Amino acid sequence: MPPRYALIDCNNFYASCERLFRPDLRDRPVVVLSNNDGCVIARSAEAKALGIPMGTPYFKCRGLLRRHGVTVFSSNYALYGDMSARVMGVLARFCPAVAVYSIDEAFADLTGVPGGADAFSRRLKATVEAWTGIPISIGIGPTKTLAKLANRLAKGHPRLRGVFDFAASPDPDRLLRHTPIDAVWGIGRRHAARLVRYGVGDALAFRDMDPVWVRRKMSVTGLHTLLELRGQPCHTLADGPAARKTIVSSRSFGRPVSSLEDLREATALHMVRAAEKLRRLRAVAACVHVFLRTNPFRPGLPQHNDSASVPLAVATAHTPTLIRAAHAGLERIHKEGFEFKKCGIMLSGLEPVNGRWLSLLDLPPQDTPTHVPTMQIVDDLNARWGRDTVTFAAVGRPDAAWHMRRDMRSPRYTTAWTELPVARA
């Protein structure tokens, strides 16, 4: 039986999450801004119809948004992450196999599902929307690349009602002919520009190219994309993003920062977040990198950009040890007299927690049996009662002026007890 893959994508995900607890915003334009309320990163269908471009700085389009009555939200990642987990949980419950691809996308193997892939997908779509309130689109195909293309079509044509099976099309060549080459999954901007120069401007023309030329010019990745457009599966469901080699945590400040104490608090907060991700991966890090940046868009001010690396004697995921290493690196690169726009940390040298190299000369206290469960307890409490229920004094006060600006953030309806929605008769 030939494989049947589905690409399940949440429609305008961030905007849909914001509308979920605001029924008054149904059918009204909504946009979501990036960190520090900088740029537009998500738009509802109504906002797209107004011609609001993705990535537009907020200060440039504020007047346009106000004139058209667009509701503007700061990013609320706690809400988005929780709603994503709920959607993926529903998919995992009903699909034979699911591979999460991103916060709002997942691939599913629908080979042999009862009633056929199309009927199953329509029931799945209705169930996800009824149980979570998040609208989704589903594209089905014999390969993951064609499923991705089918999803694009399902979103773009209302008459398909959010589900499209590429194999059911009476004229698949026509669909490929009307798909721009830069819209094909697996073909990046650089390769797309090169193909256009060669006269290959759509998916059909690329599918019919010489595989030898594609392999030579675009490596095996390009060849796999070509073969998948021909209906030959080259990616299994388990194929996904490569294992992470680094973890980065960084944010721009809500205002310029020059105080070393403020920088220490911000660095500690970034390390707390990175260490949480590290433990979720069941991994440890062997090196801590710290960096500072001034604002390059203010050339009249003195500039200072620097970074430092602090190797660890034994790879670890113990937050206090990682914070101490980050502070040591920060003190090496900090200089007085500069207003910093951004700081951050990167963890590198990641390896599985049960497969790390140990030192015969130095066994840090965080690796003793009494300290290993401590981080698990902290993570469990925060997972159950909300982020930062238990945190570290080194991160400072939650209302510090250097924190990221989110003046229009909606309540964290599903992850904070104090922000639960209240129903009134």
Q: For residue 58, is pLDDT > 80?
A: yes
Q: CA 165 to CA 2: how far, in whole Å? A: 14
| pTM, full prediction | 0.79
Check residue 129 and give its pLDDT.
96
Q: CA 365 to CA 158: how far, in whole Å? A: 60
Instruction: Categorise residue 361: left if φ over 0, alpha if ψ from -120 to 50, beta otherwise.
Output: alpha
Q: For residue 42, is pLDDT > 90?
A: yes
Pick the CATH number of 170-240 from 1.10.150.20, 3.40.640.10, 1.10.10.350, 1.10.390.10: 1.10.150.20
Q: CA 269 to CA 253: how far, in whole Å? A: 12
Q: For residue 361, is pLDDT > 60?
A: no
Q: For residue 176, what pLDDT band results from cuts at 50, 70 and 90?
A: very high
Asked if 397 and 29 touch (Cβ cutoff 8 Å), the reply is no
Asked if 367 and 314 touch (Cβ cutoff 8 Å), the reply is yes
Q: In the chain, what are the domain boundaries?
A: 1-169, 170-240, 247-395
* CB-based burial label for 41 (10 Å; 0-12, 13-18, 19+): middle
Q: CA 336 to CA 318: how far, in whole Å? A: 30
DSSP element (H, E) containing 18: helix 13-20
Name every residue whose Cβ is closer than 8 Å to that of residue 304 and which is 6 or more positions away in sequence.
292, 294, 335, 338, 340
Name every residue whose Cβ is closer than 8 Å to that of residue 160 and which is 6 or more positions away in sequence.
153, 154
Please report the DSSP string for 172-229 in residue order: HHHHHHTSBGGGSTT--HHHHHHHHHTT--BHHHHHTS-HHHHHHHHHHHHHHHHHHH
Closest by CA position to 21, among listed 89, 69, 76, 93 = 76
Closest by CA position to 275, among listed 369, 367, 347, 343 = 347
CATH level 2 (architecture), domain 247-395: 2-Layer Sandwich (3.30)
Check residue 299 and give its pLDDT.
73
Superfamily of domain 1-169: Reverse transcriptase/Diguanylate cyclase domain (3.30.70.270)
Name every residue whose Cβ is closer than 8 Å to that of residue 136 and which is 6 or more positions away in sequence.
8, 9, 10, 11, 87, 125, 128, 129, 162
Q: For residue 239, what pLDDT band results from cuts at 50, 70 and 90?
A: low
Q: For residue 369, what pLDDT band results from cuts at 50, 70 and 90?
A: very low
Mean pLDDT within 229-252 = 83
Would you state the structure tokens that stand for residue 271, as one six-digit string?
């390390």
Check residue 242 and give its pLDDT.
63
Q: CA 292 to CA 311: how far, in whole Å? A: 18
Q: CA 273 to CA 144: how far, in whole Å? A: 33
Mean pLDDT within 68-86 = 92
Reported as a single tens digit per residue, the pLDDT across 17-40 is 999 989 899 999 999 998 888 899
Q: CA 383 to CA 388: how far, in whole Å? A: 9
Residue type, 284: V
Check residue 241 and give its pLDDT.
60
Q: For residue 203, is pLDDT > 70?
A: yes
